[in-house]
Amino acid sequence: MVFSRAGNKLKTKWRCTSGPRKGRVVSNAKDCDAPIDQAKRAQMKKTRKTKSKQAARKSAKTKRVNPASKLLSMLNKMRKASVTSGGKVQKAYKQPKSSLKGTIGTKKTVKPKK
């Protein structure tokens, strides 16, 4: 099970572990074993080839700007961390190390100019 975005709402979907769609995310688990429509497959290959750069730019902007996308990535990272660690819950977000470490709260004496 993985989280997916539909508009500004989150949905749960399934990642296929077997069948002709192994590794693909589908809305229903039973779709993993459904037969593939070859005409649709060929058309989608053409579309991806021509629109890939345009789609990449659009999705990058969405992931950067849309709050639902930010939440989605955090949820999927948390889920992945708990699955790969054998059920142990780990932190999905690590705070960045502060470059001002040790400077906060210290006094600095400034000599007046003569």
pLDDT at 41: 94
Q: Is the pLDDT of residue 98 over 80?
A: no
pLDDT digits (tens, 9 = 90+) for 18-61: 889 999 999 999 999 999 999 999 999 999 999 999 999 999 99
pLDDT at 90: 56
Judged by DSSP in three states, 46 sits in helix
For residues 87-96, average pLDDT: 59
User: Which sequence spans correspond to the domains of the chain?
Assistant: 2-46+64-84
The pTM (predicted TM-score) of the whole model is 0.57
pLDDT digits (tens, 9 = 90+) for 62-71: 989 988 899 8
pLDDT at 42: 96
- Cβ atoms of 22 and 14 closer than 8 Å: no
